[in-house]
Amino acid sequence: MRKRTEPVALEHECHAASGSSSAGSAAAALDADCRLKQNLCLTGPGPAEPRCAADAGMKRALGRRKGLCFRLRKILLCVVGLYVAIPLLIKLCPGIQAKLIFLNFVRVPYFIDLKKPQDQGLNHTCNYYLQPEEDVTLGVWHTVPAVWWKNAQGKDQMWYEDALASSHPIILYLHGNAGTRGGDHRVELYKVLSSLGYHVVTFDYRGWGDSVGTPSEQGMTYDALHVFDWIKARSGDNPVYIWGHSLGTGVATNLVRRLCERETPPDALVLESPFTNIREEAKSHPFSVIYRYFPGFDWFFLDPITSSGIQFANDENVKHISCSLLILHAEDDPVVPFQLGRKLYNIAALSRSFQDFKVQFIPFHSDLGYRHKYIYKSPELPRILRCPPLVQGIPGEVGTRAPALSVTRHLKEHEDVCPCPPLPLASPAP
């Protein structure tokens, strides 16, 4: 019995040993598999990982595009909203339109002292102030003829006022919107007119430059009337001409109409770059291009002008004016279209009020580049001004109408417009 049981025990021990060895090998295999997975994680991404990164990059690019499109849509909505809001704002606040017409808050050139016209090269000019109404003060420049520049040095206001009674004619200049009486192109025109032997009296309307008051069409017209009466009280029998430029043409025709109604007309009226009326000018202005075809343009933009009491109806005023008229307009004028100046001339030429007076239209070719405010550069301007209507007493000129001819660089063609002989020029101020 003992011999038989020993082999069985030995067999059990062998089986136990083999079981334990197989369990150990399985555990070892499991450990090896875990280490392999750890190594794979540490060594980097597998073959499927790059595709995931590319997908993430595409998602980020699409996100950026969506963000950009969102921002563009937002900007576009803001622009459209502003485009629609501006007409509504102007309709609700008509005063904005008046500010845009007058532009009296735009003072150019900046940093000049209007009390010192000599700083602008006008060393024969005096600055003084007039008061047409209580709480209204007007800054005035009076430039004497250039031949007197030496005598004018150091003289006071009284000397300048007495000089108006000399034999030299006087031009009352009414400037346009924006800027002051010291604007560059305005100063250059004063110099040209002074060199031709004219007194030049100009001023800033109430609310412009250093003048005190609130701008309005009625107030501007009254200012011009007050300065005209001030001149006539000192000029004796000397001829007085009214010269208006751009918006100043509206003031000029308002003034001259009132003077003619009270039977004290000026000796002549000069309109440089005129329009027919403020509604047509506003509709033709370059700033109105983006709204010109806006639904209800007249109601949104033009009716507020009328409701503010602004008309400047040159086309209506010329029907009541009885004095000689000269219109100057450049064909390349970008502010007041040339067609408006010609239309105003046609209205004046057919008016009965001008039957006994000369009406003249002088267009300047676009090649000359005079645009809106550089007609003073024309070398033919002296001859134009020395011909009727600014020169009186020439036989055969009263009651005639001059044809509208283009002014060119050729003197021969210009002689057809101004048949009178040239006069010697005065020496300009140094």
Active site residue 372: yes
Given 199, 333, 378, 414, the catalytic residue: 333
Q: Which residues of 72-109 are buried (b: 16+ CB within 10 A; e: fewer)?
A: eeeeeeeeeeeeeebbeebbeebeebbeebbbbeebee
Active site residue 184: no
Rg (C-alpha) for the chain, rounded Å, is 42
Active site residue 135: no
Gap between the Cα atoms of 243 and 245, Å rounded: 7
Q: What is the 3-state secondary structure (H, E, C) of the chain?
A: CHHHHHHHHHHHHHHHHHHHHHHHHHHHHHHHHHHHHHHHHHHCCCCCHHHHHHHHHHHHHHHHHHHHHHHHHHHHHHHHHHHHHHHHHHHHCHHHHHHHHHCCCCCCCCCCCCCCHHHHCCCCEEEEEEEEECCEEEEEEEECCHHHCCCCCCCCHHHHHHHCCCCCCEEEEECCCCCCCCCHHHHHHHHHHHHCCCEEEEECCCCCCCCECCCCHHHHHHHHHHHHHHHHHHHCCCCEEEEEECHHHHHHHHHHHHHHHCCCCCCEEEEECCCCCHHHHHHHCHHHHHHCCCCCHHHHHHHHHHHCCCCCCHHHHHHHCCCEEEEEEECCCCCCCHHHHHHHHHHHHCCHHHCCCCEEEEEECHHHCCCCCCHHHCCCHHHHHHCCCCCCCCCCCCCCCCCCCCECCCHHHHHHHCCCCCCCCCCCCC
Q: Are 242 and 266 in contact (CB under 8 A)?
A: yes
Given 194, 246, 322, 324, the catalytic residue: 246
Q: Which residues of 247-279 are buried (b: 16+ CB within 10 A; e: fewer)?
A: bbbbbbbbbbbbbbeeeebbbbbbbbbbbbbbb
Gap between the Cα atoms of 328 and 377, Å rounded: 13
Q: Are 388 and 324 in contact (CB under 8 A)?
A: yes
Given 142, 175, 199, 372, the catalytic residue: 372
- The catalytic site residues sit at 246, 333, 372
